[in-house]
Amino acid sequence: MTYRKTRDSDPIDLARCKRIVRPLQSKIHQLNELLTSFPSKTNLQYETPHKSFLHPKTSTQRLASLKPYLDPDLYQSYLDIFQIFQGVVRNVEVKRPNRVPRLSMLCCVNLGKSITLSTRSTYYKLNQSSLFDPETLPGHLHRIYHSLHETIDPWLELEPVQLYGGYRRDLLMGYVIHLIVFNLGMLYMLVPVLVQWLQEELREHSNGPLMAFSTILFNQYWHFDETYHPDFDSDFLGYLDANKKIDNNDTFWILYRMGYWHAFINDMELMSKVGYYDSLMIEALARPLRVPNANTSLVIKALNHITACPFHPSINLALCNILRNLIVEVRSKSNAVDQYQHIIQFMKVWLSFPSHPTQVVFNSLLPGNEFLFRCLTSVTKYLAAIVDTKDTKLRNKVNHCLTTIGIFQHFYLDIGDNEDTTGFIECFFEMQKSSKEPNESFNEFVMWLHDQGTSEYIDLSRQLFSRFYTDENDPMLDATYGYIF
């Protein structure tokens, strides 16, 4: 009795399901064929975009705003797919006023991923049956090929039909969403248009599930990476869909610099559904392929999101990827001064002492801290070795940076016993400004320095305290002052 209440009262027959999705499948494969024969690119540049690009009022305007940046054939394909997508959703959607998604619907959307990945019609070359001979596949890929379904039919005919038939609409929507996500290489700039249109349709027809579909599509889009299909051999995907190799990383960072992502997430009211912008950016920085080869200046700018969201569980993953980017930059031997400043900015975010304890980024409970210190030390040593011997000032700064890293590692991880304090104060105040107010985290640090018991560390604790506080006679500092003096 319970399942009858949650199923759709208007089940959709199998033949109609196939008729609805076939035009979308066909158009995506046509675009794949076009891009295979004539590779097409977006023409985004690091420029200030028109307001209509950042804040289009409608999905139609958002699509139109892309026209100057896309090759004509790619833009026309986007326009066709957008229109087909609208028709699919209107034919498949289940009209419910409640915005809270049913558990059954969420399960169906997750199953949509399995339908997409397990069906031959998803893959460009397999779909071109007259052109593809499975015997041309390398031997180790035969098993994967033969494990795939010929069509989506088996998923829509799950037994008992009396039960699963009522969920076909949600299953089909899940399949459509994941068919789009699977082809993100080609459809990267189109997905925000689809997300916005789903929300417009929701408002126009008061159809609650469309908000869930909009949120799920954005979530899959934002977090998409190579782990989307972890069980498949990369050779298999590359062989069957060459456009899986399309890299949208440069586009992501150009849009970031334009302010596109912040505007889109804010305008679409996605923050309440998928997380705040800073949190989403940390998750993007934590993606394995999002950061390492990106523009380093943009990556360093993105450190601000970590400062704004210091308790995010993926912070150390994000920091690790940022360090990988810094290593690539330093090895390029391009501009040692900029590279030094990037290292200082990294240390400022990760290791400094914000005014309030809740803003401290370093978290001893997160894995990877020792690895991060080791990498930070290595990249700084490498920079020290390649700095021009004539640039004495910069060489000293980099060496002082190494000393500072060693002392912080001793403080945070209790690793090492660095007795050298040369240049620590100079480097510290590149990372940290003086303060008018008591700083609990800083006070703990100077008391720890004093507790080390050596004359160098005791002297360092006193110098730091005197330079850090603009008013060391503040009564709130009496306890710390009395401890170290």
Residue 169, helix vs strand vs coil = helix
Residue 267 has pLDDT above 60, yes or no: yes
pLDDT band at 378 (very low <50, low <70, confident <90, very high): very high
Residue 160 has pLDDT above 90, yes or no: no
Supply the mean pLDDT for the chain: 84
Q: Does residue 197 contact residue 106 with C-beta atoms inside 8 Å?
A: no
In the prediction, which pLDDT does 51 show?
A: 75
Q: What is the pTM of this model?
A: 0.87
Find the mean pLDDT for residues 41-62. 82
Higher pLDDT, 235 or 433: 433
Find the mean pLDDT for residues 327-343. 91
In the prediction, which pLDDT does 381 show?
A: 94
Give which of 263, 314, 366 is closest to 50, Cα–Cα: 263
Find the mean pLDDT for residues 129-133. 51
Residue 242 has pLDDT above 60, yes or no: no
pLDDT band at 126 (very low <50, low <70, confident <90, very high): low
pLDDT band at 217 (very low <50, low <70, confident <90, very high): very high
DSSP string, 375-414: HHHHHHHHHHHHS-TT-HHHHHHHHHHHHHHHHHHHHHH-
Position 432: which residue type?
Q
Residue 361 has pLDDT above 60, yes or no: yes
Give which of 163, 196, 184, 166 is closest to 116, Cα–Cα: 184
In the prediction, which pLDDT does 4 show?
A: 43
Find the mean pLDDT for residues 427-441. 90
Residue 131 has pLDDT above 60, yes or no: no
Q: Does residue 428 contact residue 348 with C-beta atoms inside 8 Å?
A: no
DSSP string, 124-159: HHHH-TTT--GGGS-GGGHHHHHHSBSSSHHHHTPS
What is the rounded distance in angstroms from the CA atom of residue 109 to the CA atom of residue 125? Answer: 25
Residue 130 has pLDDT above 70, yes or no: no
pLDDT band at 288 (very low <50, low <70, confident <90, very high): confident
pLDDT band at 104 (very low <50, low <70, confident <90, very high): confident
Residue 294, helix vs strand vs coil = coil
The H-assigned helical ranges of 118-259 are 124-127, 142-147, 153-156, 161-164, 168-182, 184-187, 191-205, 209-222, 234-240, 249-258
Share of the chain above pLDDT 90, in %: 47
Give which of 243, 112, 118 is closest to 188, Cα–Cα: 243
